[in-house]
Amino acid sequence: MTKTLEQLSKKMKDIDFAMLATHTRGGTIGARPMSNNREVDYNGDAWFFTDNTTLMNEDIMADPSVTLSYQGSSGLLGQRPFFLAVEGRASLIQDKDEFEVHWTKGIERWWPQGVDTPGLVLIKVSGERAHYWDGEDEGELVLSSASAPVN
């Protein structure tokens, strides 16, 4: 049975970090850990804070196609392993009002000045397709009409 977005969102609450993969200037893939904060209700859009000087931002400006990879339980001690890969399009946001909407407790660890931090950028990844593996269950969800049909 195919999982719903709500079911995937519930599983994602147990995951603190995602790997955000971009296409680099040289044509390779670059991946970086980004905090998922465990406080987000996933609705097809993922939000991450970064600094405006990172190479990742340059990658996104050149090619907004990205992938997010999540790993939940590793399957140890009888737990079902959970993995999720989300293909999507990233955009860079420099709007303080949006910062305030998406700011969560603990982020000040990286940006002590909060939403007033100079050079702060918010990355929005609009998911287009999600592929999950949950124990023996595997499936895909189309998250937006911009993505190709699932076979």
Question: In 55-72, which positions are buried (b, 16+ CB within 10 angstroms) versus exposed (e)?
Answer: ebbebbeeebebbbebeb
pTM: 0.87
| Token digits of residue 12 | 């994602």
> CATH class for domain 5-142?
mainly beta
Question: pLDDT, tens digit, for every residue of 29-86?
Answer: 999 999 876 666 889 999 999 999 999 999 999 999 999 999 986 656 667 888 999 9
Break the chain into its structural domains and give their ranges. Answer: 5-142
Q: What is the pLDDT of residues 86-124, one digit of tens each?
A: 999 999 999 999 999 999 888 888 999 999 999 999 999
